[in-house]
Amino acid sequence: MLLGEVVNNAGGWLNYIATLSLVERLDASRLHLSFVLLVRYLPFFFWAPVAGIVADRYRRDWNMVITCAVPALVVCCLALIHREDLWLLFVLLFIQFSLGAFYDPARRALIPQVVPPEQLHLAATMDTWVWSLMSAFGASIGGFVASRLGSSAAYLLDALSYVLAASFALAILGKVPGPGEPPLWQNACKKSHKSSDTLENLAPELVHPKLPGFEAPAVHTRMSDAMVTQVDHAVADDDSPDESSMPAAESSAQVAALQTEKAALPTVRPKVGGWGIVVEGFREELGAMKEGWAYMTSPGNRGIAALALLKGSGAWVWSAADVLNVLYAAMPRMQTLGNAQQTLGFIFAGVGVGCFFGPIISNWITKPEVMPMLRACVVSLGLMCAAWLGLTFATNVWIVIISTIVRGVGSATLWVYSTLLLQKNVPNALQGRVFALEMAFCTVAETASGVFPGIAIDDLHLSKRMPATVRLLQQIRAKVADWRQ
C-alpha cells in the first residue's frame, strides 16, 4: 500500500504541474486555471456518498486495483490535448479524478484494518512523509519534464505511475480483510497465544477513545450474507420443536406437519427480475448512505462532525495558494531560478519540504492523545495565517518559497492529526462513509477557494495581492473562532 502511494503521488504531481503549465500556455485566462482545480476537486464532492458506501460494502483491495488501472487509460488521452481541445482536457480530468474519489476512502479506511490502533499515528505520519517527499521531488521533476520534454511526456509518465500503483494493489489482493472480517492485527494477537485477552480488553481506550464533549460512538456493522445465513439457521432451530421432549409416536407426525406448514409460507427473499435487483440494490445503498449521515449528525457524535470539518478549514488556504503560485511563477521578476515551469516546480517543492518536516516536528512535541492533537490542529491554522501574510507581501521568489514551506508545515500537521483522530474514534464499518463525507466538505472549500482568485483577477480586475489578503483575513477569523471553541 505504501509503495503504491509513493508512485501514485509522484505521478499525480507530474500531472498537476503539466496541466497547470498547459493551461497557462494555451489560454491566458486565470479563470481556466481555477477550472483546473474545480474539475480536480468537484468529483470528490459529487461522488462522496457513493464512494463511501463502496468502500464500506465491497472489498477495498479490489477498489484500489480498479481505480488505479482505469485512470492510466484516461491519462494517456490527456497527452493528445491541443489548443482547440481544451474543453476535452476538463472532461478527461473529471473522469480521472472521479475514479480517484473512490480510491481515497477505500485506502484510508483499509489502514486501520492492517495497522494496530497504537501505531496509527506512525502510519499517518509515514503517509504524510510519502506525500511530502513526492511533492518535493515530483513537483521539481514535473517542472523539469514539462519545461524540457513537454506536457505530453509528463502525462505518459503519470500513466506509467498508475500502472505501477495498480500492480502494487494487486500484490495485496485477497491478503487484507474484507467487509465484516476482523483486522489483521487482531488475528495476529489471537495467533500469538500470549494472552487470552483481545486488544479491546487490554486497551479499549486505544480502539474507541472517548473525545470530550460527546458520547463514545456506537459500533454500526452490517451483516454479511454468511452471517445472515447463520442467523436464519439459528432462528429455524429455535422455532423447531425438540423431538426429545415429544412422545415417539407424535414426534415424527408433528414435525412433518410443521415442515409442510413452513413450506407453504412465503419466502423471506422472493426472487425478483433484473430491474427488481437494481431497485433493491439502490434501496440498500440509499439506506447505507442514510446510516452514515445519521451517524455524523447524531447529537452524541458532534465531535466527530467537527473533526470531519477540520480539513475543510485548511482547504480555504492551500487551494487558492495553488492558483496564485501559478501567477507568481509567470511573473518575470520571480523567475530567478529558471523559467515559469521550473519556478512553479520549485514553489511546489516547498510544499513538500514543509509537509515532510511538519509531522516530524509536531510528533516530537505533541502526545498522541486527543486534546494535544486538537491543540496542534489549531496551531497549524496559525501557521497557515503566517504563510498567507508572507505571500501577501512577497517581492521575490524566495519569500514565496519560504511562505509555502510554512504553509506546508501547517497543512501537513492539520491533515495528519485530523485523519488520525477520525481513525481512532470512528468504527471501521463506517469509516469509508465518514472519510468520504470529510473529503466532500474539504472539496467544497477547495473548490470555492480555488475559483475565487480566477474570478477576482479576471472579472473583478483585482491585483494578485487582494485574493491573498482576503484569504489571510479568513484564516485569522477561523483561528480566532477555533481558539474560542
Q: Is the pTM of the predicted complex or chain greater than 0.85?
A: no
Looking at the domain assignment, is residue 314 inside a domain? Answer: yes
Asked, for residue 111, whether it belongs to a domain, the answer is yes
List, for residues 15-59, the tens digit of each pLDDT value.
Answer: 888 888 888 777 656 677 778 878 887 888 788 778 877 888 888
Alpha-carbon distance of 369 to 376, in angstroms, equals 11
pLDDT above 70 as % of the chain: 70
265 domain-assigned: no
**Weakest mean pLDDT among 71-85, 284-298, 397-411:** 284-298
Q: Could you give the number of structural domains in the chain?
A: 1
Q: How distant, in Å, are the alpha carbons of 100, 138, 184, 226 from that of 8?
A: 11, 10, 24, 35
CA atoms of 182 and 114, how far apart (whole Å): 10
Q: Is the pLDDT of residue 163 over 70?
A: yes
Which one of 169-173, 210-214, 323-327, 448-452 scores highest in mean pLDDT?
169-173
Q: CATH no. for residue 154? A: 1.20.1250.20
C-alpha triplet 104, 166, 349: angle, nearest 5°: 60
Most confident of 244-253, 315-324, 359-368: 359-368
* Span 104-135, pLDDT tens digits: 888 888 888 888 877 877 887 788 778 777 77
The reply to whether 219 falls in a domain is no
Mean pLDDT along residues 350-374? 86
| Residue with the three cell numbers 489483521 | 184
pLDDT: is 158 or 138 the higher one? 158
DSSP string, 336-392: SSSSHHHHHHHHHHHHHHHHHHHHHHHHHHS-SSHHHHHHHHHHHHHHHHHHHHHHH
Confirm if 354 and 407 have CB atoms less than 8 A apart: yes
Domain assignment of residue 309, given as a range: 2-178+302-484
Would residue 54 count as lying in a domain? yes
126 domain-assigned = yes
Task: Determine the average pLDDT of the residues in 292-297.
Answer: 80
Examine residue 212 and state whether it is found in any structural domain, yes or no.
no
Has residue 308 got a pLDDT over 80?
yes
pLDDT in tens, 419-468: 888 888 888 778 877 887 787 788 788 777 777 666 666 555 555 554 55
- Which three-class secondary structure state does DSSP give residue 203? coil
CB contact set of 6 (below 8 Å; sequence gap of 6+):
130, 134
Q: Return d(Cα 137, Cα 146) in angstroms, integer.
A: 14
Check: CB of residue 211 under 8 Å from CB of residue 425: yes
Question: Which element (helix H / strand E) includes 460?
Answer: none
pLDDT at position 208 over 50: no
Q: Tell me if 434 sits within 8 A of 310, measured CB to CB.
A: no
Is residue 125, in this structure, part of any structural domain at all? yes
